[in-house]
Structure 1
Amino acid sequence: MSTQSISNMNRALVVGGGIAGMASAISLAERGVAVDLIDLDPEWRVYGAGITITGPTLRAYHRLGLIDAIKQQGAITNKTRLFRFDGTHLQDLEEPVIEEGLPATGGIMRPVLHRIMQARVHELAIPVRLGLTVDVLENTGTGVDVTLSDGTRGHYDLVIGADSVASRVRELAFPHMAPARPTGQGCWRISIARPPGFNAAEFFLGHANPCGITACAADKVYMWLLTPHIERDSFMNDEELFTTLHGLLADFGGHAGWIRETMTSGDWINYRPLAAALQPAPWSNGRIVLVGDAVHATTPHLASGAGMAVESAIALAEEIARAETVEGGLDAYEERRFERCRDVIETSVRMGQLQLEHGPPEEFARLLQGALARLNEPF
């Protein structure tokens, strides 16, 4: 896929080596920018179960040239099956293909997705330095003077903060912004072997704690369960995670029940409270800009966190390439992304509130269907 070269800048620093950071680095490097990528983790690891990759997310990864690897190493489907929480089948939903040549939907293990993106970073010969973040950022008018946490210094035409929800770049350069706010919900996830006969994404409805299962590989699925946030003074150990999740699944049948009876404390189980924030404008300060969870952190209700991060990274590079100046490109990026990100975050948070309030399913379905239709529109 052809891309427009960037002629108004030469060198960029991307802070954060997750999905948003790698997508930003790839998008800029493909347009001729010399990119440095740094990440705080000295091993550049990623933890996690699987993620759902919706049609809009697949479209964004297609724009990065990574769709074939995702299809080969993930799991693709064109259908979602709806069940009552006890396992009674309700109906099947056919997932629309939003762009010719793309799969409808699917899933992939998060570490696998990161390895696919890391391989592309290496193919583009993007230098990666690990165990680092930024300590000082000083706008000079034509760029940014940067001091890294190891004391080294450099000058860049652009600095991109893609360092997740607890962004150091946001802390240093955007005093008008605040940390993401808890929503009152928590999300349980487990990665486990694929249940016998499992052949499409599944949702379990009618329970106070919504649940779903997504295939991530030929032999792997991940299951999520949303609950009111469980307040604790300390992190749960593996045995506590297992026991608590096992109990929360007591009412569930079907493949969710199979997972309950098959799971062990050796399976990857995770719990985390949910938080969200659409950071107020401006999203740039001079030649410093934010992408991904650093500026538009959402909850998993629309399965769009990764997709929104990749979309924003692509949009940033495209708008800089189109603009006469970098600053003009940064303004156009914010204008292009703000309302779409607002829609996803506000809808997701409202869906979570309805679940906590045991609100009417019809309202939840209306929010979901409307948001998914808007997400399918071009970004």
Structure 2
Amino acid sequence: MSLPAQKVLIIGGGFSGMSAAIQLRKLGVDVDVVEIDENWRTDGAGITVSGPSLRAIEAIGLLPEFREQGAMMDGIEQYTSDGTLFSQIKTPKVPGTEISGGGGIMRPVLAKILAQATRDSGANVKLGVTFKNIEDCGNEVLVEFTDGSSQAYDLVVGADGVFSSVRKAVFPGAPTPQYSGQGVWRAVIPRFGAERSMMYFGKQGKVGFTPVSENEMYLYYTEKRSEKKRIPDDELLPHLKGLLDEYTAPILVKIREYLNESSQILYRPLEGMMMPRPWYSGRVLLIGDCVHATTPHLASGAGMGHEDAVVLGEEFAKGGDLHDVLERYQNRRWERCRMIVANSGRLGEIEMTGGSKEEHSQIMALSLAALLAPI
């Protein structure tokens, strides 16, 4: 097979970077991965995964591990704060497969699965290291690293997240992430009998939960906050409990009573961006949150990164000039990613303004249905 690039550097060892490394190694590409965190940690509680995202995880080869260590489910139920059901969103199996319409897993668990698969693929992983300088010389890219070494590559893939240093260095005019006006709270709790994803709508927020294992689920709450600011650790538990005061649905009363210091409560502001094309410059390509960072309202942020890796591998396998490969790649990804970022943003607006629940349900249903189309 004649490949458009024989030696590739991936900067960033998150979900997108690891997935891309695995897919390129399947083709025989020589892959280096550098990750600035020497401990290769992934923070966070659980993660909700849509059926189309599970399709990408299957293409990467990790669906059996997901099934074993996570949870699979179908359907999303939406309720008012007192527990009145007003919408049931169907999440059918991915066409032509037996893949469930959705799932959930602990974020560190999925990261561990991907990390092991990345090493098993034969990719060369260097931790505690990132780039110092990137110089595109036309026929190769010369990269200087923070450990004092340097290396030439046929292609550099920036997969270093929403606050990408690669984007800043190579695309100085690119947009920067914008605060959405919402923050998300997450916690790990027992399942309390929950069998699927459920959402409850308050006056200016939404609380929901998704099973992530046989015994656990993760709670999330999207809160309207005018300022992007850190919340001290000792205020996390009482603040989250206070947010749940308006919810009288029986399961939420139980959850509020259960929440404690061991619930792994986290808070982070929600930011997003959609970088206009091109997503590549010469021999440097951006993928994942570097170019299409989304809020989590459609449970597709990580999934879009997995899909990026699958599509990049497919376009590599088709061959051709590297410029043509990168052009085909970004054109396949553009509209799908744009839709996710835009529709997720609209869902957040509806939640913050106490807008139409019917519109919220319709956007979710139509978006998830559109994602079932082939990548």
Partner residue in 1 for 2:183: 186
1:351 and 2:355 aligned: no
Q: What is the deviation of 1:335?
A: 0.8
Q: 1:134 aligns with which of 117, 131, 150?
A: 131
Partner residue in 1 for 2:16: 20
SS in 1 for 2:265: strand
Q: 2:94 aligns with which of 98, 123, 128?
A: 98
Q: Output one character per residue of 1:251-285: Cα deviation in whole Å (capped at 9) or x when no partner.
A: 22232221110010222111111111111111001
TM-score, normalization by structure 2: 0.96
Partner residue in 1 for 2:225: 229
Which amino acid in structure 2 is aligned with residue 23 of structure 1?
A: S
Which amino acid in structure 1 is aligned with residue 103 of structure 2?
A: G
Q: What is the deviation of 1:372?
A: 1.4
Asked if 2 retains the 8 angstrom alpha-carbon contact of 1:6 and 1:32, the reply is: no
Q: What is the deviation of 1:245?
A: 0.3
Cα root mean square deviation, aligned? 1.5
Q: Output one character per residue of 1:210-255: Cα deviation in whole Å (capped at 9) or x when no partner.
A: 111100001111011111126376x323320001000000122232
1:292 and 2:288 aligned: yes
SS in 2 for 1:250: helix
Q: What is the deviation of 1:351?
A: 1.4
User: In structure 1, what is the Cα distance between the partners aligned to 2:198 and 2:348?
Assistant: 19
Asked if 1 retains the 8 angstrom alpha-carbon contact of 2:228 and 2:269, the reply is: no
Q: 1:251 aligns with which of 239, 246, 254?
A: 246
Partner residue in 2 for 1:240: 235
Instruction: Using the TM superposition, name which of 341-350 and 200-209 deviates more.
Output: 200-209
Q: Superposed, which structure 2 residues align to 1:119-158 within 5 Å?
A: 119-158=116-155
Partner residue in 1 for 2:304: 308
Asked if 2 retains the 8 angstrom alpha-carbon contact of 1:6 and 1:31, the reply is: no
1:371 and 2:367 aligned: yes
User: In structure 2, what is the Cα distance between the partners aligned to 1:340 and 1:90?
Assistant: 28
Instruction: Using the TM superposition, name which of 360-369 and 67-76 deviates more.
Output: 360-369
Q: Output one character per residue of 1:305-356: Cα deviation in whole Å (capped at 9) or x when no partner.
A: 0110111111122112213111110111111111111111011111111222
Asked if 2 retains the 8 angstrom alpha-carbon contact of 1:186 and 1:230, the reply is: no
Q: What is the deviation of 1:14?
A: 0.4
Q: 1:198 aligns with which of 182, 194, 200?
A: 194
Q: Superposed, which structure 2 residues align to 1:46-85 within 5 Å?
A: 46-85=42-81
- Total equivalences in the alignment: 373
User: In structure 2, what is the Cα distance between the partners aligned to 1:122 and 1:21?
Assistant: 12
Q: What is the deviation of 1:93?
A: 4.1
User: In structure 1, what is the Cα distance between the partners aligned to 2:199 and 2:83?
Assistant: 10
1:161 and 2:197 aligned: no
Asked if 1 retains the 8 angstrom alpha-carbon contact of 2:91 and 2:368, the reply is: no
User: In structure 2, what is the Cα distance between the partners aligned to 1:76 and 1:110?
Assistant: 15
Asked if 2 retains the 8 angstrom alpha-carbon contact of 1:291 and 1:312, the reply is: yes
Asked if 2 retains the 8 angstrom alpha-carbon contact of 1:88 and 1:254, the reply is: no
Asked if 1 retains the 8 angstrom alpha-carbon contact of 2:90 and 2:365, the reply is: no
User: In structure 2, what is the Cα distance between the partners aligned to 1:173 and 1:90?
Assistant: 48
Which amino acid in structure 2 is aligned with residue 243 of structure 1?
A: P
Which amino acid in structure 2 is aligned with residue 236 of structure 1?
A: I
Q: What is the deviation of 1:55?
A: 0.5
Give ranges in structure 1 of 5+ residues lacking alignment. none
1:112 and 2:109 aligned: yes
Q: What is the deviation of 1:6?
A: 5.6
Asked if 2 retains the 8 angstrom alpha-carbon contact of 1:213 and 1:256, the reply is: no
